[in-house]
Each structure stands twice: as C-alpha cells, then as structure tokens.
Structure 1
C-alpha cells in the first residue's frame, strides 16, 4: 500500500472518528451526564468539605465534554486507520467496508469491553482518591494484556489455519484468548470501593451509559470509515461492475 493511499485513509479515519465522536457526544450528554449529576449530588450530600470549583459543572458538561470526546474520536480514528492499513489484505476475503467493521468490533472488544468487565466504570463519589493511581495502573494493565493477547490470537489463528482450517483455527485461537483473559481476571486484584449506601440503580445506569457511549463511538466509526474507505479503495466503476454484470443476462 503506497503512502498516498495511507495518507488518504488516515484523513478519512480522522473524519470518521470526528463523526463518530459527535454521535457519542449526543449519547454521553443524554445518558451519561444526568447520572454524573446524580452521583455528584450524592457526594455533596455526604461530604462536609467543599473545595473551590476550578471549572464550573456547566462548562464540564458542555464544552469540556465535547472537547474530550471529539478529540478522543479524532485520535481513535487516526490510530484505527493506521491499523486498518496494516490489516487490509490480511483479513481473508473481506472487502474494505467489512474489514473496517470487523476491525472496529475487534478493537471495541479488546480495548474496552474486556477491561470493562474486570474494572467497570464508576461515577463520581465512587472510589478512594488515594487509590486512583493504583486503579488507573490496573485498568491500563488489563487493557494492554487484552490487546496483546488479541494480537497473539490473530497470529496463532493464521498459523493454525493451514492445518485446522479457518473455522477451527478461529475457534481454537478464540478459546485460547478467553482462557488467558480469564487467568488475567483471576490474578489481577479486584477493586470494590463503592460506598454501602450508594444507589445500586444509579451505579448500574452509569455503567450502562458508559458502555453505550463506547458502543456508539466504535461501531459508528466502523460504519463511517468503512464507507469512506470503500469509496477510496473501490472507485465507483469497480463497485457498480458486479451489479451491472448480473443485470445484463436478465435484460436479454
């Protein structure tokens, strides 16, 4: 793949990331922010210490939220586009659009879902400030382990395919990934710092909202980027050649 195509895919990836970020921002504002407000209200009602507010809550929930999600979406799009350039042609007979959606789904699972199941997101007022460094380290360690094992599973699956066939090799590699992730879940320490009187319903709703934001971001990116990548890699005559060829016999 030449540098011109890589550069164009990178630009399209960042644009798709921006578009996905806008959709994720809507979900975050509608689903996430009300739960954050409720968690902050719980914290205020149980704390007698009120420090100086450096950034207003209004600014955090509007411009701050938009900046964070949109910048994250653009960065995600650029990194995913580079990974797509490497993976394209190595994912079997998948076309550009299917390959983009496959890559996005795999990244969602390995980068977010697997770490989320071990260390789910918590709203404000949940967690000891003194352990934030430890919690952050454990979360990123789980993420790194998941990504490395996912890459190893893909490599193992390709090596096993000539002997076992694509289907069986995929199952074996997937089971190996799941077993090793399970071992990681057991070995890494659990963290439970939820206050006893914190609303279980609010905690559940916050985590569902966090999951919905990530699902929206990654899956919409896969769909948007797949469309843009297909238009670049398969020009219109190539995309319409097959339908035209199938319509010709019917016309006779």
Structure 2
C-alpha cells in the first residue's frame, strides 16, 4: 500500500477514534461514573485516607479533592472526557495502521468488513482477554502495595494476547489452502482459545486486588460498565472507520483509474 494511502487512513483512523471516544465518554459518564462515585463513597464511609489506587481498564481513578486541586465534578466531566478522547484517538491511529497491513492479507474482504474485523480483533486481544484474567478494579478499593505488580501483569497479558492473536491469524492463513477458509479459521480460533486458557492457568491471580468488605454488587457494576465502555468504543470505531476507509480507498481507485484513462490516448 502506498505511503500516502496509509497516511490518509491514519488520519481517518484518528478521526474515527475521536468520534468513538465521544460515544465512549457518554457511556462512561452515564454508566461508569455512578459506580466510581459509589466506590469513593465506600472508601469515605470506611474512613480511608489513602490515595485512590489506580486500576486496569478505563482511567478514572481519582484522589481526594484537596490533594489533587480538582473538584470531583471536573474530574468526572472534563478530566474524563480528555482521557477517553485521547485514548480513542491514539488507539484509532494504531488500529488504522493495523487495518492498512491487514487489508487484502486476511482474505478478500471489503474495507468495511476488514475494519470491522480489525476492531473486533483489537477489542478481543487488547481488552477482553486481559479483562477476563485481570478485571478492572474501581478506584479506592485496590491495594496500593500491589499496584505495580497488578499493572505489570495486566500489560503482560495484553502483550501475550496480541501476540497469540497475530499467531492465530498467521496459522489460519497457512492452514487455509489445506483445510479451507472456514475450517482453518475454526482451527486457528480453537488454538488461540486453548493457548490463552493455558496462560490464564499459568499466570498468577490478583487475589488481593480488591480490599475485603467491598460490596460485590458495586464491584460487578463497575466491571460491567468498563466492559461496556470498551465495547462501545470499538464498535463505533469499526463502523465509522469502515465508512471513512471505504470512501478514501474508493476515491484513490477512481483517481488512479482516471489517470490511466487519461494517459492511455497519449501513450497510443
């Protein structure tokens, strides 16, 4: 793919990520913030005075207002929006580069279908699989003594998941000539699940990630909300970027086709 085309897709990917970030922010504010407020209320009720521990997932950890200098309202609106939008733009650009590499290499899919598959693969490997092993922890309930260990394990799981996903795609492509596309996809997918399950067993658990006595219902609500935020982010990105990429590539092909038609008479 030509460098200018990749650059065009990169810009459109970042734009799609920005739009997806807006939707994700809406979900985070409506669905996620109530559970964050609940977690902070639990800490205050327990008389906790420690800084709120960070968590793996959406970046919504906060510290007491007097220490940070920002009100809770500012943190849950402007601060949250800034974090989610920057996150969306960054991931949108990375996903656009992955799309540029995948287009035409994973099958004869249209740009829209390839964008959807890229978004689904990114959501699965970058968030869903690591989340299943190390689910997000609300602010104020994590053990600050283990934050370094938990963060390391979470990013290790992301790296492992992405590498296994890439390996599964490569294996599926190599098996396709012998097994056919459908059977090769099933075999590669089964291999991914099997190796991931082994990794889940081998890697240590975060049994001390949540302090004892934290309400289970509130913890469940928070984790479901973080999963919903990521699902909306990647779903919107897949749809929006698919449309933008389809139009960009169609315009490139039309321009190239016109160039050939205009140049043909001169060559004759």
Name 1:247's counterpart in structure 2. none
Q: Is the 8 A contact 1:10 1:82 kept in 2?
A: yes
Q: Is the 8 A contact 1:21 1:70 kept in 2?
A: yes
CA distance in 2, matches of 1:164, 1:70: 43
CA distance in 2, matches of 1:3, 1:42: 52
1:57 deviates by 1.5
CA distance in 1, matches of 2:75, 2:189: 40
For the residue of structure 1 that corresponds to 2:104, the secondary structure is: coil
1:125 deviates by 2.3
Residue 229 of structure 2, aligned match among 192, 205, 213 = 213
1:167 deviates by 1.2
Instruction: List structure 1 runs of 4+ shifted beyond 4 angstroms.
Output: none
Moved more, 50-59 or 149-158: 50-59
For the residue of structure 2 that corresponds to 1:217, the secondary structure is: helix
TM-score, normalization by structure 1: 0.91
TM-score, normalization by structure 2: 0.85
1:49 deviates by 2.8
Residue 248 of structure 2, aligned match among 219, 224, 232 = 232
Q: 1:48 to 1:80 in 2, by over 3 A?
A: closer
Name 2:5's counterpart in structure 1. 5
Aligned pair 1:61/2:61, yes or no? no
Q: 1:21 to 1:110 in 2, by over 3 A?
A: same
For the residue of structure 1 that corresponds to 2:107, the secondary structure is: coil
* Unaligned segments of structure 1, at least 5 residues: 239-252
For the residue of structure 2 that corresponds to 1:234, the secondary structure is: helix
Taking the TM superposition and a 5 Å limit, the aligned residue runs for 1:132-211 are: 132-193=147-208, 194-211=210-227
* Unaligned segments of structure 2, at least 5 residues: 51-63, 255-268
